[in-house]
Amino acid sequence: MNIMPGVTPYGGIGIIGSGRVASALGLALADLSAAPQLGDVSVDIVEEYRPLSYAALCHGANHLVTLIAGSCEALAAAGVNDSASLLAPLARAALENSLAKGMAGLSGPLLRGDEESIAGHIAALRKGYPPPLPPYQAMGLATLDALQRFYGKKDPSPWQAMLEKRPMTTLLLAGATGLVGTKALALSLADKRVTKVVAPTRRPLAPHPKLINPIVEANSLPLAADWWAVDGGLCAIGTTRAKTPSAAAYRAIDFDYPLAIARRLREGGATRFALTSSMGANARSPFRYSRIKGELEDAVAGLGFPSLTIVRPGFIGGERNEHRPVEHGLGSFLRIANPFLPSIARISPARTIASILVDAAIGSTIGSHCVTAADIAHLAPIRNS
């Protein structure tokens, strides 16, 4: 069987052909112009071991792309404008050393036994740019294992536990007493990924080992408190025009208070934020409700959360503690008509919204994400099962 480097259908460089195994592979996402430079370096290999050779080449070449890309993204998050140029000399030297010397070409904190540096790297990634943290930990463990084999050591490294430790999440939930917020609180407290939930409220909540429940007033948030330092936040604050007829009070609840919380969370180092907005939110809407929701979305987006999820539900379904006859009647009608309505017009179950918010605050990917009422309708059967 003959296989050698070539241009893949995706424009990158991979393995083509059959029969012999190539040992000179480029990066899987390299430019097309690099293809002629790869050469035809091939070796004979027993057919039985062909899958193993494929796995080895994929691990050494394709996974290198993920490693380099993640490092460049983390450098960019640290404010480096040309991250590739900064990383390139070090990466090239490491590649040449590893090809020439194997594990004898390793350098860095694991080889030196620099526990302080390793702990600092983990903390910095967790706070500043979390996506490369799992690969960092996995590669660290793989490096320790390779070092132990290389030097013939059998005792586990004292840094193994540090690298194996999975990052847990601390959350702050704003609006924990509302329809969506109560369900988000229950889901957060039950989630094994969460170690602590901060839920500031005006009235005390039922105690829970994971729960920190500061008693606060909306117009006097204790911004200097230490409980603002969390990994992620979610906001389920909202009111209605019928409940809050004053325009000033309405804006304070639906705009000022959520924005103040989001801003303080970002200042405290939170990297993920999930916001309950509304279908039709638009800062230029002629309707006050939709306009304020849109203005809040824009303002929160400007705070610079690495991961921001905005959830835009339609009519929120669920049992409320307070009596709202108009909403009760509309909800009854929508429940009957639900099977015949387009997804965007269906009820948005409070539990589904809460589940989306919690998952986003715990581990949403980098970037801005918008979950529409139609998305919620499609997710409802799964999230509520």
CATH number at residue 295: 3.40.50.720
Buried b (16+ CB within 10 A) or exposed e, 275-302: bbbbbebeeeeeeebbbbbbbbbebbee
Same domain as 150, residue 271:
no
Same domain as 7, residue 148:
no
User: What is the SS3 assignment for 188?
Assistant: helix
Determine what percent of the chain is predicted with pLDDT higher than 70: 75
Residue that terminates a domain, selected from 51, 79, 102: 102
Q: Are 234 and 274 in contact (CB under 8 A)?
A: yes
Integer Cα distance of 220 and 251 in angstroms? 16
**The domain containing residue 128 runs over which residues?**
106-167
Same domain as 133, residue 11:
no
3-state secondary structure 130-177: CCCHHHHHHHHHHHHHHHHHHHCCCCCCCCHHHHHCCCCEEEEEECCC
- Residue range 206-214: average pLDDT? 96
Q: How far is CA 19 from the centre of its chain?
A: 42
Same domain as 68, residue 200:
no
Integer Cα distance of 331 and 323 in angstroms? 13
Q: Are 3 and 15 in contact (CB under 8 A)?
A: yes
For the record, the structure tokens of 336 come out as 């009957």
Same domain as 179, residue 304:
yes
Same domain as 31, residue 116:
no
**How many structural domains are present in the chain?**
3
Which residues are CB-contacts of 314 (< 8 A; sequence separation ≥ 6)? 279, 344, 345, 346, 347, 348, 373, 376
Cα 376–378–381 angle (5° rounding)?
Answer: 95
User: Could you report the per-residue pLDDT of 214-232, keeping only the tens digit for each?
Assistant: 999 877 899 999 999 999 9
Residue that terminates a domain, selected from 77, 102, 127: 102
326 against 136, higher pLDDT? 136
User: What is the SS3 assignment for 382?
Assistant: helix
Comparing 1-15, 92-106, 143-157, 241-255, the range with the smallest average pLDDT is 1-15
Residue that terminates a domain, selected from 74, 102, 130: 102
Same domain as 317, residue 375:
yes
- DSSP assignment of 251-271: HIIIIIHHHHHHHHHHHTT--
Same domain as 63, residue 126:
no
At 132, the pLDDT band (50, 70, 90 cuts) reads confident
Q: How far is CA 303 from the centre of its chain?
A: 17
Same domain as 138, residue 92:
no
Whole-model pTM: value is 0.59
CA 127, 132, 134, 140 torsion-angle sign:
negative
Same domain as 115, residue 71:
no
User: Could you report the per-residue pLDDT of 263-300, keeping only the tens digit for each?
Assistant: 999 999 898 999 999 999 999 999 988 999 999 999 99
Comparing 37-41, 366-370, 372-376, the range with the smallest average pLDDT is 37-41
Same domain as 375, residue 247:
yes
Determine what percent of the chain is predicted with pLDDT higher than 90: 34
Same domain as 192, residue 135:
no
Q: How far is CA 191 from CA 162, 178, 181, 276, 360, in A?
A: 22, 20, 15, 20, 13
